[in-house]
Structure 1
Amino acid sequence: MSTSLYDLTIPIFIRNLESLDAVLSKGEAFASEKGIDPSELLEARLYEDMAPLISQIQRVSDSAKGTAVRLGGVENVVMADEEKTFADLHARIAKTIAFLKTVPRDAIDGKEEAQVTLQTPRQTFDFTGLSFVQTFVLPNFYFHMTTAYGLLRMKGVPLGKLDYLGGI
């Protein structure tokens, strides 16, 4: 039995978004316990030209949603990137998970050979459905997940690998 494209995407996104939400909760609790202004964590960057924590969460959300839209042809749930607080980020994650739970399996499965075009400000990328997931979606999703985790660790939030991995 082969693994379906749906199984490589939607359930993985949901599980990791749930883990990310728990990681954010630990960051929020840490700021509260230590008397740290939450913006110190939310605006943290690994380097001055990199996006802050808030943007990392937004990109994780967008990556998951965009996969369902591009592969499944489902209507996007637009989120305006206006989050400023931990509560806003938790709400965005919850909204993303709720959206992903509405994506029908048959909208994604069977799209391995479908043509997917990704237009960025600098370049256009053409993929098959499978190569889109393997070479762009999953690496991009995990890049932003890992960066969010790393930003919170850099600020001293007591997180471990099992927090990142979630309920295994």
Structure 2
Amino acid sequence: MTALSMYQASVPVFCRGLAALAKELEKAAAYAAERKFEPGILVNARLAPDMLSLAGQVQRASDTSKFSGERLSGTPSPKFPDTETTFPELQERIANTISYLQGLDPAAFAGSEDKEISLSTLGSFKGDAYLLNFAVPNFFFHLATAHAILRENGVAVGKRDFLDLQA
């Protein structure tokens, strides 16, 4: 049996999650259009006053995935200024993040499980601990929170949407 590589445990997981999020945002934009309300209401919605808005959740999911790609592969990631305020802008950010991730060379991840990863707020990790104990859980936290914001606001998204499962 072949061991799962750091690339396999990260890039495809992030791309699939971001693609699912993009589909949920499409449903959210359609929901706002159908009900004739300003889409910015959803983009700025949050679960609690001290939590990030939907836009912030999308931005953090994007950042977590692209910074993970950079930290593990050594390939510089694109810089995004966190200024998205519309569904099209959030979709563009997701598309640009997926494009970056899909452009990463799997060979660049070789040995990254033992690479020292330092985060200013959390200290240092070996690459495998960074990916499995921080990056992937953090990524899914932001995806799940974005999903919950949409659900809380009436958008018809469910588990199949979150998991990107076809009917």
**Same fold flag (TM > 0.5):** yes
Aligned with 2:134 (options 136, 148, 167): 136
Q: Which amino acid aligns with 2:162?
A: Y
Superposition deviation, residue 16 in structure 1: 0.9
- 1:151 is aligned to 149
Separation in 2, partners of 1:135, 1:7? 16
How many angstroms apart in 2 are the aligned matches of 1:146 and 1:133? 18
TM value normalised by structure 2: 0.96
Does the residue aligned with 1:17 lie in a helix, a strand or coil?
helix
Match of 1:58 in 2: 59
- Cα distance in 1 for residues equivalent to 2:71 and 2:86: 29
SS of 2:119's equivalent in the other structure is: strand
Tell me, yes or no, if structure 1 residue 91 matches structure 2 residue 86.
no
Secondary structure, counterpart of 1:112 in structure 2:
helix
Deviation at 1:124, TM superposition (A): 3.9
4+ runs of 1 displaced by more than 6 Å? none
Cα distance in 2 between the residues matched to 1:147 and 1:109: 32
Structure 2 runs not aligned, ≥5 long: none
**Equivalent residue of 1:29, what SS?**
helix
Q: 1:43 corresponds to which letter in structure 2?
A: N
Task: Give yes or no for the alignment of 1:162 onto 2:156.
Answer: no
Matched residue, 1:75: 76
Separation in 2, partners of 1:101, 1:30: 30
Give aligned pairs, total.
165
Q: Distance in 2 between matches of 1:109 and 1:39?
A: 42
1:49-86 CA distance string (max 9 Å, x none):
11100000000000000001111110120011110100
Name the TM-score, length of structure 1 as normaliser: 0.95
Letter in 2 for 1:159: V
Return 5+ residue gaps in structure 1 as ranges.
Answer: none
Task: Give the % identical residues.
Answer: 38
- Counterpart amino acid of 1:132? Y
Q: Which moved more, 1:55-64 or 1:34-43?
A: 34-43
Q: RMSD of aligned C-alpha atoms?
A: 0.9
In structure 2, C-alpha distance between the alignment counterparts of 1:54 and 1:110, rounded to whole Å: 34
Letter in structure 2 aligned against 1:90: Q
Shift in Å, 1:137: 0.3
| Alpha-carbon distance in structure 1 between the residues aligned to 2:59 and 2:48 | 18
